[in-house]
Amino acid sequence: MTNLSGKKFIFYAAFTLLFAFLLIELFYLQIYKGQKYLQHSESNRIRRYVIQPTRGLIYDRQGDILVDNTPSYSLSAIPFECNKNDSVLTILSNILHTPEQTLKKELRQADSPFSPVKIKRNIDYSTLVQVEERRLELPGVIYDVDPKRMYPYGVRAPHLFGYLGEIAKSELERRSEENLRAGDYVGKSGIEKVYDRLLRGSVGYDFLEVDALGREIRDIHLEGEKAPKRGADLYLTLDAELQLLAEKSLEGSRGSVVMLDVRNGQVLVMTSKPDYDPHIFADVVTNKVWRELVNNEDRPLYDRAVQSAFPPGSTFKLVLAAAALEQGVVTPSYSVVCPGYMQFGRRVFHCWNAGGHGRVDMLHAIEQSCNVYFYNLSLKVNVDEWAEFARRFGFGKRTGIDLLHEVSGLVPDSEYMNKTYGKRGWTRGNMLNLGIGQGDLLTTPLQLAQFAAMMANRGHYFEPHLMYKSVHIEQQDTTFFQPVPHEVNGITPETYEVLIEGTNMVIHGDMGTGKAAGVRGLSMCGKTGTAQNPHGEPHAWFIGFGPAQDPRVAICVLVENGGGGGANAAPIAGKVLGRYFEKYPVLKEKFASRD
């Protein structure tokens, strides 16, 4: 009897402990972990879909569309659904002509089993139809419409516009506050990158109920659902017609044309040739295409407007003239005799005109671009004084334009020369080369266009910019870009008048080297330049502005290996300037043309 009672006690004790364990486990699952498993359950039943916003368009200053959108379809898959049904990846592999292992690798990139991950981009419409036809066999497979850019006006300008690409993991971490996800398309360069936040807009969310097989049942409304917000449209300062004209004028050459509105710093034209078809980056770029672009000896990926740093040649003689006048070492009447060369120590420095220019003062030396005159002037201004005035005019530093990868160029001073050549490795003879824009001096077309704008406005200028205004259509909100003004320090009005008169003679004087840049009926100013190149033909430069007494625009033209600036760069400037003043005519100005 005692044994039976003991067995009953053990049985009841074990049963009680088991029941208590079940109660504790039930409490753990239903109460303590209830919220977690409810979320898992809801994740199985409810799918949250991200709705991509429409990316903003890019227009020119007059409202012509430069960058538009066209639909591009991509497939995404939810790993949880695909992994529990092996046939899904098999079917997709056949439709997409992609190995199953590749698809599995893509699925492993997902942030969570319930987050859709891109498995194929830019699928054609027939492929999309096949997916839709087999919808019931492909639970968890969805399609998205990605932004794909097109360029309807015909302006290429890929260096300005930039391109879109899938966000990198490193960028995701850096931009964590922007609510971006793996697989999102963002701006990778140019305007698309600089103004990506404005153009991209914000995503929306929708919720769908699915069955146990992952098939959509109905649209449901939950907290957190919202419509996407369209990105802002950008209006650039570019004039599309003038941009096209400049691009065609440089066709077959390497170089750049930059034109600024001197009244506000707006970039009207900015070309870089050779370039590439911007549609290349609208699709997935293959390794073959990328290698062809990178290895092309003409360097089409290289933005010559802000990255091509070359000696500016005779355009820089104006900086030396300003430095000499402000230092008080000469007056405009200072003159020299040019026999076609100058002896300095054991070296002979030649003028571009082997026959010489005879006796010239400062104005005629600017007009005829006399090297010998500026060789003599170089001996009156030391390298640090010259470098200081060059920096006042913005050389040796970035302009601040709203583009990436702008280079600062190089203005050598004694510290640089000592470091590069040693204290005894250079002499004042180096200053003769620097004074005429040769040697180690490096500038960009944008810097020289800005320098021309500084002269046009007698020292007042604005940071160059491409943004004109942004327009949020849905919010009916327009924001205009506010120009940033600056002043050149330490240059008197009298010095500017000398530079302006001299550059006016370059266009309209009897011996002017820049006649080809003239605009009929207007008094224009300019300066040609021919920069010697040890690797081939000289680089041709022209800078200019006008009208002289009522300035509207400034321009810089670079033709790499183009030969003489007057013969090859000035005619391009004349063509673009001429069309500008046809489109935007001005009243007859006070400083009458000499034509």
| Residues acting as catalytic residues | 314
Query: Taking phi first (over 0 means left), then psi (-120 to 50 degrees means alpha), and beta for anything else, what does residue 436 get?
Result: alpha
Q: Parallel, antiparallel, or unpaired for β 335-338 and 255-261?
A: unpaired
Decide: 445 and 256 in contact? Cβ < 8 Å. Answer: yes
Q: How many CA atoms lie within 13 A of 518 on its CB side?
A: 20
How many angstroms separate the CA atoms of 533 and 256, rounded? Answer: 17
> What DSSP designation does 111 have?
S
Pick from 491, 456, 457: which is nearest to 326 by CA? 491
How many angstroms separate the CA atoms of 569 and 406, rounded? Answer: 23
Pick from 265, 254, 391, 235: which is nearest to 310 by CA? 254
Q: What phi and psi values does residue 129 have, to the nearest 5 degrees? A: -65, -40
Residue 525: Cβ-neighbour burial (10 angstroms; 0-12, 13-18, 19+): buried
How many angstroms separate the CA atoms of 56 and 10, rounded? Answer: 76
The full DSSP string for 429-488 is: HHHHHHHTT-TT-BB-HHHHHHHHHHHHTTTEEE--B-EEEEEETTTTEEEE----EEE-
How many angstroms separate the CA atoms of 232 and 474, rounded? Answer: 9
Amino acid at site 287 = N
How many angstroms separate the CA atoms of 545 and 547, rounded? Answer: 7
How many angstroms separate the CA atoms of 346 and 543, rounded? Answer: 34
Amino acid at site 99 = P
Report the 3 state secondary structure along 260-302.
EECCCCEEEEEEEECCCCHHHHHCCCCHHHHHHHHHCCCCCCC
The position carrying tokens 């997409």 is 96
The position carrying tokens 């207007």 is 522
The full DSSP string for 503-515 is: HHHHHHSTT-S-G
Here the tokens at position 235 are: 């209006």
Here the tokens at position 391 are: 């920096």
How many angstroms separate the CA atoms of 519 and 585, rounded? Answer: 11
How many angstroms separate the CA atoms of 578 and 518, rounded? Answer: 8
Other Cβ atoms closer than 10 A to 526: 34
Pick from 499, 503, 520, 495: which is nearest to 368 by CA? 503
Q: 3-state DSSP call for residue 212?
A: coil
Contacts with 18 (C-beta within 8 Å, 6 or more apart), sequence order: none
Amino acid at site 107 = L
Contacts with 436 (C-beta within 8 Å, 6 or more apart), sequence order: 313, 314, 316, 317, 320, 371, 374, 375, 378
How many angstroms separate the CA atoms of 263 and 553, rounded? Answer: 8
